[in-house]
Structure 1
Amino acid sequence: MPLERIMIIVTGATGQLGRQIVERLLTRVPAERVGVSVRDPEKARALADRGVRVRQGSFTDAASLAHAFEGAAQVLLVSVDAMGEECVKRHLAAIEGAVAAGARRILYTSQMGASPSSRFQACRDHAATEEALRACGVPFTSLRNGFYAASAAHFASFGVDSGRLPLPADGPFAWTAHADLAEAAAVVLADEGRFDGPTPPLTGSTALGFDEVARTAGQVTGRAMTRLTVPDDEWREQMTGRGVPAETAEQLLGIFTAARAGEFATVDPTLATLIGREPVSLRTVLRETLAA
């Protein structure tokens, strides 16, 4: 098979997840089989120096995607860091670009709980993107990633100094480390066709709410943290009072209303099977993030 027909293209390869996916993919396939599509090629210079094909590509520029995806056998679309109509629009453009490039499989970083009826906007966006993948005519794999443990660390960071973590009522989250999800994505890319359609939820081994997040954050930092339950309306007002746009505050509130409905509670062994070990724990992520 000619070299250009075995290329694996990863988008967003300078972002937190995409960068780690490429690093782990390079331990499994030769660098000359790996290409990245990035908005700023200069930020991927280190990858180019290792033999990775680096091309500029943007989900808002079809011509750039045609160049970035050229010769792709597989394209991994790392979902954009946004929510709402514009997010889905960009995903659709990327899918169209991968189809036009002749990719034989499109992979996408989705999320557990992806559903058009989800209470969390991001999960509705993922569901819309998955529907477009089903309709695109090319085999696809949707990586149903567990809820990022980095999000737990981000919320907890606001309570380190005050010792108070005021948040809306929640439910259990199957917190999952970026590093584990990146490892799983690399495994799936290197074993083309291992999953067809959505994967089972790719999650950590336990599901914990913010009571446990606060408790664990206090333990790893040595600074006790109390989790306080705040009414939804009050929390929304607090967010907008801090300068958060009203639409964004409503979207963030969706995380908690979805968790209360059990949308992020499922724990599944698929991730552990893929990476060949127990997933990184929430405690480890909090220690690495908060106690650094």
Structure 2
Amino acid sequence: MNNKLIVTGIDGNLGRVAAEQIQKLVPAERLIFCSYNEEALKPYAEKGIETHQTDFNNADGLVDAFKNGEKLLLISMPFVGAKRQAAHKNVVDAAKEAGVKQIVYTSLVNADDPTNPSVEKKDHIYTENYIKDSGLDYIFLRNSQYAEAMITNYYTYVKGDGVLKNNQGDGLMAYISRKDCAKAAAYALASDDYHHAILNINGPEAMTITKFVEIGNEVTGNHVSYEEITDEENYQVFDAMGVPRTTDGKFKKDSEAPFSSDGMVTFGEAIRKGKMRLQTADFKKLTGDDQLTVKYMFEHQADFQIGARHSQDK
């Protein structure tokens, strides 16, 4: 009987929390966990969870890994461009062939707006459309920006000159914890209530980066200020930090910005242009819980840092 729930990427920052959450919602015998990291799977196998080592860059073995699954959580891969699109296509094709009925996909707020300049958005709308065209049922979780990324960024400037510089300007973003995004993913996977659905997973308040910094200052006693810079100046800031322009570049170990600057700068541009300002109650409707606030995350900042990049992409 193909009635199991598949969680992919359980070794990653979001996938690890989703794996914890889903175990609270359904019994172990209804779960399948997938990861490229065999070591990360072992503790779950010991709990009686079906596990499979998978590499989404390679379609081989994916159908077999998914064959007992009814629903699959596809956590977006951590690289940008054709490589990510190909990996997502491999997952969708294999899921369909294996008899999976529904895909839950972690997408991006406003992914379907053609005027949204974010390069990340291109991969997300490609994947959403590919899933739709496959004929599979779906839940698209369009996540706002992770607050953890900006909390880590805030502390970068605490240790520096105290002036947080980026290209967001006065644009609004409903910052949400990555932990809440993982929680939403687990609840969506476990739910039978959503079909051909798009849910916006936003934080409780849309705010400017200036207000985000002010909350950080109030909680921590630091005195960081915000300065808007141009898109090109923002690229130069990341260049100076050793951040690669694309995800094909070389990432520094323990970088405080474990993303490509193309992704971050065009994301900031999208925020500045009002493309990311959406704020909804979808998270509360899905989970029954309130989202974590930026204030709470600063109060517990050790638990809300962006963390290391987990991709071992070849």
The TM tier, using the shorter chain, reads over 0.9
Aligned position for 1:184: 184
* Paired residue secondary structure (1:257): helix
Unaligned 5+ runs, structure 1: none
Aligned to 2:280: 268
Equivalent pairs counted in the alignment come to 288
Contact 2:74 2:105 in 1 (8 A): yes
For 1:25-104, list aligned pairs within 5 A.
25-104=22-101
Partner amino acid, structure 2, of 1:237: Q
Choose the corresponding residue for 1:6, options 3, 7, 25: 3
The answer to whether the 8 Å contact 1:217/1:286 transfers is yes
Q: Pick closer, same or farther for the CA change 1:202–1:291 going to 2, 3 Å.
A: closer
**Distance across 1 between alignment mates of 2:144 and 2:290:** 14
SS of the residue corresponding to residue 60 of structure 2 reads helix
Distance 2:144 2:196 in 1: 16
Question: Which of 259, 283, 287 is the equivalent residue of 2:295?
Answer: 283
Query: What letter corresponds to residue 181 of structure 1 in structure 2?
Result: C
Which residues of 2 match residues 1-292 of structure 1 at below 5 A?
2=1, 5-115=2-112, 116-162=114-160, 163-170=162-169, 171-192=171-192, 194-247=193-246, 248-289=260-301
Instruction: Tell me, yes or no, if the aligned pair for 2:4 and 2:70 is still in contact at 8 Å.
Output: yes
State the alpha-carbon separation in 1 of the partners of residues 203 and 303 from structure 2. Answer: 21
Q: Deviations over 1:227-259 (max 9, x none)?
A: 111222222123223333334323321111100
Deviations 1:181-221 (A, max 9, x none): 222222222222x2223423111110112111211222222
| 8 Å CA contact 2:144, 2:175 repeated in 1 | yes
Local SS of the residue matching 2:141: strand
Aligned-pair CA distance for 1:290: 5.4
Say which is worse superposed, 182-191 or 243-252, in terms of deviation.
243-252
Hey, what's the Cα distance between the residues in 2 that align with 1:175 and 1:238?
22
Write the distance in 1 (CA, Å) between the matches of 2:63 and 2:32.
Answer: 13
- Contact 2:7–2:74 (8 Å) recurs in 1: yes
Q: Which residue of 1 aligns with 2:309?
A: none
User: Following TM superposition, by how much is the alpha carbon of 1:291 offset from its aligned partner in structure 2, in angstroms?
Assistant: 8.8
Distance verdict in 2 for CA 1:154–1:113, change over 3 Å = farther
The question of whether the paired residues in 1 share the 8 Å contact of 2:144 and 2:202 is answered with yes
Matched residue of 2:104: which SS? strand
**Superposed displacement of residue 18, structure 1:** 1.1
List alignment gaps of at least 5 residues for structure 2. 247-259, 305-314
How many Å separate the matches in 2 of 1:195 and 1:255?
Answer: 29
**C-alpha separation between the residues in 2 aligned to 1:185 and 1:218?**
31
Distance 2:141 2:213 in 1: 29
**CA distance in structure 2 between the partners assigned to 1:246 and 1:181 by the alignment:** 26
What percent identity do the matched residue pairs reach?
26
Tell me the TM-score normalized by structure 1.
0.92
What amino acid sits opposite 1:133 in the alignment?
I
- Alpha-carbon distance in 2 for matches of 1:36, 1:223: 42
CA distance in 2, matches of 1:17, 1:165: 26
CA contact (8 A) 2:7 2:73 kept: yes
Alpha carbon RMSD of aligned pairs, Å? 1.8
- Cα offset, 1:77, TM superposition: 0.6
